[in-house]
Structure 1
């Protein structure tokens, strides 16, 4: 795979009209009060409209959904028999259980959010472009009914899509455009096998678009097998003028007390707190309840109905504190979310940027706080290195770190040197799981 690298030095378009978008889309963008294209939109939309494969990297909240949704709608609108006259009700005219545009996402919430955005952008097509979202946690029968006659655009999580394909509810042999949203997660180990199975069902000739806030090194190799001479646009920046990042050191065992202090002192009414495990959500919520702070939890063990209720309540400001696992690090779009707190540091350094990206979106001012004790020191340095940031360590009055104890604990945690001559057995290099899974995939011509 060769790629053309586009950087922010390219002169950006000042208006959506300059990007070559058609009047139904321009009218809708005006109604939505979209003032001008974001950098990723200005640089990527012309290439997507031209049919090019594309790798798009930009910070969360930078408008990636519109970047692929608007060109996809425009391309579909030009197909014969799809969009009817605005004077009449548009009807979905194609037959069969087909899909024209397929958008794969990692979470249920993101699937619904992307589909809702596309439907909003398509208002002036009068229902002619059909969009369906499918994901787990809800009745598959309802989704099968929605897919009768096929759909122009399908937004799906991989597992549920495979279920629907096995039931003959949908086929992928007519897909013209494939979009991988949050591509780094889609290509990670948890989704690679499912994604490979789906790719085998897609036509070789298609447009492929990859969008994400981060592209770890291991993903780069896989993208070479997916795209054909793509345009590459990388606009990520760890330094956002609208998002302030702060790091507070604290003694081990005092994180909950510090969290309580921060919430009450600043009277935050929407606080998203990240932890690393489902049981940690419940445990922290119980501890905060004893401190007169009511919190709801959001994780994968919750049923879809409960997840939707909690998320909508948090978005509406009815829930002050939401404690969540990394399932909320992607696909959670909350306008003007004031603060995100890492109670536990994310295991993956790339997830740090996704977590803090829930605040400070679309130019709004945001705050991201990480609480670290001595056990977190080394891992946070790794996060800084991987994300090319360096943050000052701060202390909150009344929660100062006991430097003497911390120094002793850090010294005790140092690895003990192996006795001279003992030698370590060479570990056999583990064969890449990805290599096995992707070995049979044929690169599109």
Structure 2
């Protein structure tokens, strides 16, 4: 189902936030023609050039009180201590509240959830959903991100008496179907589980008037594009669409052309490389010394996330760190969702100081006061680097991203940094050296083995969001066992791993 619209393009000359606004493409029925794209080479490899200017957007605001938000939402924002919008919120909300489609790019941790969430809730307030017929939909790529979005929006949804339902794989599908039968105005979902519920007759999308795609580039990268387009074809064709992502590359091109009509385009703080509170270090290490160097970094005072490429490598390093006296825990797609949920809870409370993870933790996980991310294995591309690094320096905080690079990896790392638009500080280091300690806080581990006790039960779902403006990030929550036998063969395998 395609909406017959004529899209125009726009671009602002306001460079204060590197903000671009506009619309893309032209559609009529099954025919789609792009007439508004600037086809000049993009600034970074893999990104499409943002569109040209025609239609001016509404001016950005500097306070939530300047927006036409319902009084209960403003009161809830004040109660949460959130009074000053982040740039992407101040830029997009005037337009999204007016019902315009929005294409928003902002680095992870820049406040995208409230940027789309407040508009979605404000425009849905006062309506009541029929059973199995939600009125608004947020699609996200991972279970953790789905729960973070739900947790972030819950206090505001309650303020305007809207019901939220979270629909993700790995949790009991019967319970989710029950929430939809009871009536939920807003559904936050991963594509695979939502499709399952629709196939079972437990949900229909023809009343959805507002649709949000969060982290759309990751959904494309993970192979969800066929499911996403099939779901978008079922929502109301004249409805509002908002697409938010940390990066906008050519994989998102299809979604923009086909589903966004005359969108206002905002690019605010577009990459981790542009964040002045984040330091980037490439540490040249020798292969024989890398393991010891990693161990000393892990033994630092304070929390750290360490990224590796494979589940096996994550488990192996975690066991080594525990034997060395470092309170470490593993997070990857091979863990059950209750295990993942408990591990994240332990990390956030400080019971675990080192989270050893695959890319499953690269998006959708917010931890306050996390000042160091270490790429033990360099990422495969610049987008993975930006999203891994985005776990630190969130919401105005400072942070450091360190990548350990052996001699054979140096050329590839140089190319990756160029694609990411980052000029890192490059330092040769060895374990035990003062320079390694200066950059990372590395120190010798105690050598006394530790055991991390497993919690008796998964933490209860949080009803609210953090209580200060600088903590608009959200806690994660996961899934339970039991979905594997029901997973359809055509669903991307990463839907289970994510």
- Relative to the length of structure 2, the TM-score reads 0.74
Aligned match of 2:232? 199
Is 2:38 the counterpart of 1:5? no
Query: Are residues 68 and 8 of structure 1, via their aligned partners in 2, closer, same or farther at CA, if it must alter by over 3 Å?
Result: farther
CA–CA distance in 2 between the matches of 1:226 and 1:67?
19
Asked if structure 2 preserves the Cα contact closer than 8 Å seen for 1:135 and 1:156, the reply is yes
Asked if structure 1 preserves the Cα contact closer than 8 Å seen for 2:285 and 2:430, the reply is no
CA shift for structure 1 position 47? 0.7
Query: Which is further off, 319-328 or 199-208?
Result: 199-208
CA–CA distance in 2 between the matches of 1:304 and 1:3?
43
CA shift for structure 1 position 37? 0.8
CA shift for structure 1 position 8? 4.9
Is 2:252 the counterpart of 1:219? yes
Q: How many residues align?
A: 383
Aligned match of 2:36? none
CA–CA distance in 2 between the matches of 1:138 and 1:189?
20
Aligned match of 2:291? 256
Corresponding residue to 1:267 among 301, 308, 316 = 301
CA shift for structure 1 position 189? 5.0
CA shift for structure 1 position 211? 0.5
Aligned match of 1:157? 190
Aligned match of 1:55? 103
Cα deviation, 1:116-138, whole Å, max 9, x if unaligned, reads: 1111222322xx20101110112
Cα deviation, 1:195-228, whole Å, max 9, x if unaligned, reads: 1221232222111111111112332344212211
Aligned partner of residue 223 in structure 2, secondary structure: helix
Aligned match of 2:390? 357
Corresponding residue to 2:83 among 6, 11, 35 = 35
Aligned match of 1:145? 178
Asked if structure 1 preserves the Cα contact closer than 8 Å seen for 2:283 and 2:403, the reply is yes
Cα deviation, 1:22-62, whole Å, max 9, x if unaligned, reads: 21111111111113111100100011001111110011111
Asked if structure 2 preserves the Cα contact closer than 8 Å seen for 1:8 and 1:39, the reply is no
Aligned match of 1:333? 366
Aligned partner of residue 229 in structure 1, secondary structure: coil
Cα deviation, 1:151-191, whole Å, max 9, x if unaligned, reads: 11000000000111111111011110110001101223511
Aligned partner of residue 181 in structure 2, secondary structure: coil
CA–CA distance in 2 between the matches of 1:19 and 1:273?
40
The correspondence of residues 3-402 of structure 1 with structure 2, limited to 5 A, is: 3-6=9-12, 8-9=15-16, 12-77=60-125, 79=126, 82=127, 93-125=128-160, 128-188=161-221, 190-235=223-268, 236-237=270-271, 238-264=273-299, 266-268=300-302, 270-398=303-431
> Structure 1: any 5+ residue segments left out of the alignment?
83-92, 401-445
Asked if structure 1 preserves the Cα contact closer than 8 Å seen for 2:131 and 2:180, the reply is no
Cα deviation, 1:384-413, whole Å, max 9, x if unaligned, reads: 12211111211235478xxxxxxxxxxxxx
CA–CA distance in 1 between the matches of 2:431 and 2:363?
34
Aligned match of 2:489? none
Aligned partner of residue 147 in structure 1, secondary structure: helix
CA–CA distance in 2 between the matches of 1:281 and 1:136?
23
Asked if structure 2 preserves the Cα contact closer than 8 Å seen for 1:256 and 1:288, the reply is no
Query: Which is further off, 299-308 or 184-193?
Result: 184-193
Asked if structure 1 preserves the Cα contact closer than 8 Å seen for 2:296 and 2:431, the reply is no
CA–CA distance in 1 between the matches of 2:379 and 2:213?
23
CA shift for structure 1 position 287? 2.5
Cα deviation, 1:259-302, whole Å, max 9, x if unaligned, reads: 222233x422x111111111111111123233222311111111
The correspondence of residues 393-412 of structure 1 with structure 2, limited to 5 A, is: 393-398=426-431
For CA contacts below 8 A with separation 6 or more, give which structure has more relative contact order. Answer: 2
Moved over 4 A (4+): 397-400
CA–CA distance in 2 between the matches of 1:333 and 1:385?
27
Asked if structure 2 preserves the Cα contact closer than 8 Å seen for 1:256 and 1:287, the reply is no
CA–CA distance in 2 between the matches of 1:17 and 1:294?
44
Asked if structure 2 preserves the Cα contact closer than 8 Å seen for 1:44 and 1:233, the reply is yes
CA–CA distance in 1 between the matches of 2:121 and 2:260?
21
CA shift for structure 1 position 329? 0.7
Aligned partner of residue 369 in structure 1, secondary structure: strand
Asked if structure 1 preserves the Cα contact closer than 8 Å seen for 2:103 and 2:264, the reply is yes
CA–CA distance in 2 between the matches of 1:377 and 1:197?
42
